[in-house]
Amino acid sequence: MSRAVRRVASLPAVLAVVLLFLTFARSSSGAPPGPAEHPTVRLSYARETGADRCPDESVLREAVSARLGYDPFDERAPTVLAIILRRSGTALEASIELRDRSGRTQGTRQLQGSSADCSELASAMAIAVSLGIDPLSGNPPPPAALPAPAAPAPTPSPPPRVIVLQAPASPLPVSATPRVPVRARVSVGALLAWGVSPAVPAFGGTLGAGLQRGPWSLDLEGRGDWLTRASDGSVAVKSSLALGSLAACVHVSVGMGCAIGGVGSLGATGVVSDRAVFGDAGVRLGVEWPFARPFFLRLFVDTLATLTQLTFHLDGQDVWMTPPLSASVGVAVGVVP
């Protein structure tokens, strides 16, 4: 048995409460109750903050009535039995006070239970209240034995009635970190580019697909710049670009920032045709606005360093050379299902 149970169930403490209650009950009525009468009290029951997991007033009334064999609680009774449940430090505590019709205290008792479970304290409180109100009804004497017949058949005794007071079950814990889903995303757009063609600007289109989880996204993007023509009066050069890029982005509200790199093929056509491997890498800044979910609108600016600087020749002369930097601005519409 735990320390809390030994404290609330000690015989001298319970008898002291009983004597206090009996003394007041007899003095307030002027004479002991008759054989058909039962003492009654008016119950005042409260659970303070920290004791809300203890049984409510209806459970205590049922337990006490079951022990006494009748309902001892009457709102018209002059005697008030006040019970307050509270948490005191790490333990639960029950304060029981008996008052007369003028509000004077006739007796008090403090019961204490364990900090984790209120059922022990509630059971001890029901026993103390039952004995304090009517100790004779709470513990009736055994009936007188009748003479048994010559060959009595054994009759099993009925099982004792047991009422178990239980604290309300605590709610199931809720996960504080819900799982963030991974969603697919696709987009299509158009752009204007500088530094990848003799013509300024060059026109192109993009088609992308990728994944997004929370604020992070990873897109594989295909880009194609249409065949453009530039001429200095004597030589006309046409160029086109096909590029595949990978963009790793972080999204903050509607803003976005990306690291982007790509590799592809840059071609030029004059009197002869030529084509070479082209690569670039840099950053992308922009906004991505979910204007009508699941659709979004993206406005972006790319600043890229040329990784493979190329020079195109015609008749032994340098016709055009890729600059060390290129830039593009664009718009795209996408969907995140």
Task: Per-residue pLDDT tens, the chain, 337 aa: give them.
Answer: 334 333 444 444 444 444 455 544 444 444 444 445 788 888 889 988 878 878 888 998 998 888 888 888 888 888 888 898 888 777 888 888 888 888 888 788 888 876 666 888 888 888 888 887 877 665 554 444 444 555 556 677 666 665 655 555 555 555 556 788 999 999 999 999 998 888 788 899 999 999 999 999 999 999 999 877 766 655 677 788 899 999 999 999 999 999 999 999 988 776 456 778 999 999 999 999 999 989 999 999 999 999 988 887 766 677 778 899 999 999 999 999 8
CA distance 155 to 141: 20
Write the CB contacts of 99 (distance below 8 Å, at least 6 apart in sequence).
Answer: 79, 80, 82, 105, 106
Q: For residue 257, what pLDDT is reported?
A: 96
DSSP E strand boundaries for 90-181: 91-99, 105-113
Q: For residue 175, what pLDDT is reported?
A: 52
Q: Give the CA dihedral 184, 185, 186, 192, nearest 10 degrees.
A: -150
CB 264 within 8 A of CB 232: no
Q: Give CB contacts under 8 A, 24+ apart, made by 285-293.
A: 285/256, 285/257, 285/258, 286/255, 286/256, 287/254, 287/255, 287/256, 288/251, 288/254, 288/255, 288/256, 289/254, 290/254, 290/336
In the chain the domains, ranked by start, together with CATH numbers, are 3-138 (3.40.50), 182-335 (2.40.160.20)
Q: For residue 201, is the peptide bond before it cis, meaning its omega torsion is within 30 degrees of 0?
A: yes
Residue (of 43, 7, 14, 28) closest to 106 by Cα position: 28
Q: For residue 209, what pLDDT is reported?
A: 96
Q: What is the identity of the amino acid at 61?
A: R
Instruction: Tell which phi-psi region holds residue 233, choosing left (phi > 0), alpha (psi between -120 and 50) or beta.
Output: left
Question: For the chain, where are the alpha helices, taking DSSP H only?
Answer: 3-8, 11-29, 57-68, 119-133, 135-138
CA distance 242 to 226: 9
Q: Please, which residues bridge with residue 84 across strands? A: 46, 95
Write the CB contacts of 211 (distance below 8 Å, at least 6 apart in sequence).
Answer: 182, 183, 184, 185, 217, 218
Half-sphere exposure of 73 toward its Cβ, with a 13 Å CA cutoff? 16
Instruction: Tell which phi-psi region holds residue 30, choosing left (phi > 0), alpha (psi between -120 and 50) or beta.
Output: left
